[in-house]
């Protein structure tokens, strides 16, 4: 395997963590390039469930190095809690984790501003992890970075200035101001604990490439949550699409060899914003099986039919070479199964999702129906072991998406995977 970018092709939670865990077997380094602890990537290995938020999902495999790139926004307190949690589960974390000194910090006022904004009408339905305000400061060039945290005097000075500004805003919103002393102490203490991991990760990755190491770029969120290409304003605040893997790590485009797209066999979304194929009955059925509850916030995910208009567009934006379809088993007892092949907007057919949120909300899906297979698929380990209707379904949605199918996942565990 050469350098591979892995991208979610829908609205996040496609099963990226599971596929990363499988692909890490062939990689040397796994890198996160964007997002923060809004992500929740689930890996199930030896019956233990691990949910990764900031740490790349490759951490469970021995001998692999995990990198948090410059494009990630890091909440140091949350990161330490994640490291502690993983250590308690027996995961070794020392020289196998690197954090970019250029990564921006998520501070308590980011979380509080996120919470305050979510109280308003027109809310996004965020994870309330402070992601939007942290990226906002980055774009406004007023953010604090890991490199600041590594210099206590510099950090304290910058924090003090930021708190003067942000406490005024918080008070105007009716929230409690933040204590400088508390934040300063807790962040500096966290910084000391994280110091051994902080490095120039750009240089590390380039040297690794020179030595022929294989890198896996772990996308967080999904294509339609991308700040530019997603269903704005109901998006996250980073580039979740393939380009983000370059800007968020400092690895240039011509060093990337392939892009793997992960998509669920149906659609899900958590938070506000249009989900054109949303279906109440399918949602209820999946929830009744204990499926589709958010890995980060525990919120119920909204569910809908497979949307080929969306995934085809995701294929285009990301240059998807290969497809991994997950959660096929979620449709084991659904019959018939619907697939959205086109939208209709104001009586006219549409082959790409419109950029405008209200137009997207008015798009009516045009469906084709396929026969279900009414058989459990979880024990299938070869493509030929899938029922013929299931084979037909995955081939059809891959063809509609326009990329080559290379993996089908039929369960959450590492082994419950069919490699074509
Ligand atoms: P991510 O954010 O893209 O990594 O996805 P999440 O971990 O948030 O959500 C995917 C959910 O589906 C998790 O609960 C996974 O354990 C689970 N999962 C992934 N692939 C499969 C699959 O093929 N079958 C089943 N039953 N569960 C899966
Ligand atoms: P993974 O990596 C699904 C959604 C939130 C909200 C919007 C903005 O696990 O696929 P934010 O907190 O980022 O400002 O929220 O984006 N969202 C996700 N949905 N999976 C995720 O990550 C998500 N990260 C953010 O629900 O709608
Ligand atoms: Mg998730």
Is the distance from CB of 146 to CB of 158 less than 8 angstroms? no
Identify any residues that bridge with 259 across adjacent strands, giving them in sequence order: 5
Active site residue 13: yes
Nearest CA to 99 out of 64, 153, 52, 146 is that of 146
Using only the alpha carbons of the chain, give its radius of gyration: 21
191, pLDDT greater than 60: yes
Q: Give me the catalytic one of 21, 41, 114, 329.
A: 41
Ligand 2 pocket residue status of 220, Cβ below 6 Å: yes
What digits encode the pLDDT tens for the residues 379-391? 999 999 999 999 9
124, pLDDT greater than 90: yes
Quote the Cα angle for 290-294-295, to 5°: 100
Ligand 2 pocket residue status of 124, Cβ below 6 Å: yes
Q: What is the Å distance from ligand 2's center to 72 Cα?
A: 14
Ligand 1 pocket residue status of 18, Cβ below 6 Å: yes
Percent of the chain whose pLDDT exceeds 90: 98
Give the mean model confidence (pLDDT) for residues 137-156: 98
Nearest residue (CA) to ligand 1, atom 9: 13
Q: What is the Å distance from ligand 2's center to 294 Cα?
A: 9
> Taking the CB of residue 390, how many other CB atoms lie within 10 A of it?
26
Kindly indicate the confidence band of residue 238, based on its pLDDT and cuts at 50, 70 and 90: very high
Kindly indicate the confidence band of residue 184, based on its pLDDT and cuts at 50, 70 and 90: very high
The architecture CATH gives domain 104-194? Orthogonal Bundle (1.10)
Extents of the domains making up the chain: 4-100+197-259, 104-194, 264-419
For strands 41-45 and 48-52, give the pairing. antiparallel
Ligand with an atom nearest the CA of residue 15: 1
Kindly indicate the confidence band of residue 305, based on its pLDDT and cuts at 50, 70 and 90: very high
For residue 370, give both structure tokens. 């396929």
Give pLDDT, residue 121: 87
Give pLDDT, residue 61: 94
Q: What is the Å distance from ligand 2's center to 38 Cα?
A: 6
Do 264-419 and 4-100+197-259 fall under one CATH topology? no
Nearest residue (CA) to ligand 1, atom 18: 412
Q: What is the Å distance from ligand 1's center to 412 Cα?
A: 6
Give pLDDT, residue 11: 98
**Residue 126: C-alpha distances to residues 28, 122, 167, 311 (Å):** 33, 12, 22, 23
For all residues of the chain together, what is the average pLDDT?
97
Kindly indicate the confidence band of residue 394, based on its pLDDT and cuts at 50, 70 and 90: very high
Which single residue is written with the structure tokens 């996120």? 114
Ligand 1 pocket residue status of 301, Cβ below 6 Å: no
Ligand 1 pocket residue status of 17, Cβ below 6 Å: yes
Give the mean model confidence (pLDDT) for residues 2-31: 97
Whether cis (ω within 30° of 0) applies to the bond prior to 102 is: no
What digits encode the pLDDT tens for the residues 197-223? 999 999 999 999 999 999 999 999 999
Percent of the chain whose pLDDT exceeds 70: 100
What digits encode the pLDDT tens for the residues 264-304? 999 999 999 999 999 999 999 999 999 999 988 899 999 99
**Residue 25: C-alpha distances to residues 19, 20, 40, 202, 214 (Å):** 11, 9, 21, 23, 11
Give pLDDT, residue 86: 97
Quote the Cα angle for 322-326-332, to 5°: 135
Identify any residues that bridge with 300 across adjacent strands, giving them in sequence order: 293
Ligand 1 pocket residue status of 15, Cβ below 6 Å: yes
Pocket test for ligand 1, best of 7, 40, 42, 267 (most atoms within 8 A of CB): 42
What digits encode the pLDDT tens for the residues 341-374? 999 999 999 999 999 999 999 999 999 999 999 9
Is the distance from CB of 80 to CB of 194 less than 8 angstroms? yes
Q: Give me the catalytic one of 13, 114, 307, 329.
A: 13
pTM of the model as a whole? 0.97
Give pLDDT, residue 1: 53
Identify any residues that bridge with 105 across adjacent strands, giving them in sequence order: 74
For residue 70, give both structure tokens. 């410059």
Which ligand 2 atom is the nearest neighbour of the CA of 272? 27
Which ligand 2 atom is the nearest neighbour of the CA of 131? 14
Nearest residue (CA) to ligand 2, atom 5: 126
The architecture CATH gives domain 264-419? Alpha-Beta Complex (3.90)
Ligand 1 pocket residue status of 14, Cβ below 6 Å: yes
Q: How far is Cα of residue 343 from the mean position of the Cα atoms in its chain?
A: 26
* 4-100+197-259 to CATH, choices 2.60.40.10, 3.20.19.10, 3.40.440.10, 3.10.20.30: 3.40.440.10
- Distance between CA atoms of residues 271 and 330, nearest Å: 21
Ligand 1 pocket residue status of 35, Cβ below 6 Å: no
């Amino acid at each position: 395997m050469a350098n591979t970018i892995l991208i979610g092709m829908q609205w996040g939670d496609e099963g990226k963590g599971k596929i990363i865990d499988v692909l890490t077997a062939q990689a040397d380094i796994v890198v996160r390039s964007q997002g923060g602890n809004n992500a929740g990537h689930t890996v199930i290995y030896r019956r233990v469930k691990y949910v990764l938020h900031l740490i790349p999902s490759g951490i469970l495999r021995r001998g692999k190095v995990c990198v948090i790139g410059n494009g990630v926004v890091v909440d140091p307190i949350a990161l330490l809690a994640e490291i502690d949690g993983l250590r308690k589960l027996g995961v070794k974390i020392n020289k196998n984790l690197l954090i970019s000194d250029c990564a921006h910090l998520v501070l308590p006022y980011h979380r509080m501003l996120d919470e305050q904004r979510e109280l308003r009408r027109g809310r996004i339905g965020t994870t309330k992890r402070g992601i939007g305000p942290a990226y906002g400061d980055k774009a406004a060039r007023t953010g604090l970075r890991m490199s600041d945290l590594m210099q206590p005097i510099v950090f304290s000075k910058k924090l003090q200035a930021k708190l003067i500004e942000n406490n005024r805003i918080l008070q105007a919103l009716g929230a409690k101001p933040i204590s400088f002393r508390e934040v300063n102490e807790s962040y500096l203490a966290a910084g000391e604990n994280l110091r051994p991991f902080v490095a120039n990760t750009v240089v590390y990755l380039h040297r690794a490439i020179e030595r022929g190491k294989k890198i896996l770029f772990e996308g967080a969120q999904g294509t339609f949550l991308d700040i530019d290409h997603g269903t704005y304003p109901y998006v996250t605040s980073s580039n979740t699409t393939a380009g983000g893997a370059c800007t968020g790590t400092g690895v240039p485009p011509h060093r990337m060899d392939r892009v793997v797209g992960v998509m669920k066999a149906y659609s899900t979304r958590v938070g506000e914003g249009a989900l054109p194929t949303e279906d109440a009955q399918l949602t209820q059925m999946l929830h009744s099986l204990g499926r589709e509850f958010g890995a980060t916030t525990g919120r119920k995910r909204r569910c809908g039919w497979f949307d080929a208009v969306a995934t085809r567009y995701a294929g285009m934006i990301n240059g998807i070479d290969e497809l991994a379809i997950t959660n096929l088993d979620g449709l084991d007892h659904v019959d018939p199964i619907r697939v959205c092949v086109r939208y209709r907007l104001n009586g006219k057919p549409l082959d790409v999702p419109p950029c405008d949120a209200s137009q997207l909300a008015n798009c009516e899906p045009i469906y084709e129906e396929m026969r279900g297979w009414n058989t459990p698929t979880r024990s299938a380990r070869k493509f030929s072991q899938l029922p013929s209707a299931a084979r037909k379904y995955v081939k059809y949605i891959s063809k509609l998406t326009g990329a080559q199918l290379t993996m089908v996942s039929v369960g959450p565990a590492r082994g419950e995977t069919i490699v074509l």
